[in-house]
Amino acid sequence: MDVSQLPFNRLIGLELADHDSGFLVYLPDHPQYTNHLGTIHGSALMAVAEAGSGAFLSEQFKNMTGLIPVVRRLETKFRRPASGKVSARCKVEPNEIARWSSELTLRGRLSVSIPVEVVDASDLVVMTAVAEWFITLNT
Instruction: Give pLDDT tens digits for 94-120.
Output: 999 999 999 999 999 999 999 999 999
Q: Is 112 helix (H, G, I), strand (E, B) or coil?
A: strand
**CATH code of the domain covering residue 38:** 3.10.129.10
Q: pLDDT at position 130, please?
A: 98
Quote the percentage of the chain above a pLDDT of 70: 99
Residue 139 confidence (pLDDT) above 80: no
Q: pLDDT at position 84, please?
A: 97
* Mean pLDDT estimate for the chain: 95
Residue 17 confidence (pLDDT) above 90: yes
26 by Cβ neighbours in 10 Å (0-12 / 13-18 / 19+) ranks as buried
The answer to whether residues 86 and 26 touch, using CB atoms and an 8 Å cutoff, is: yes
Q: pLDDT at position 73, please?
A: 97
Integer-rounded Cα radius of gyration of the chain: 15
* End-to-end Cα spacing for the chain: 18
The mean pLDDT value for 61-86 works out to: 95
* Confidence (pTM): 0.94
Residue 123 confidence (pLDDT) above 90: yes
Q: Please count the structural domains in the chain.
A: 1
What phi and psi values does residue 108 have, to the nearest 5 degrees? 80, 5
Domain hosting residue 106, numbered range: 3-137
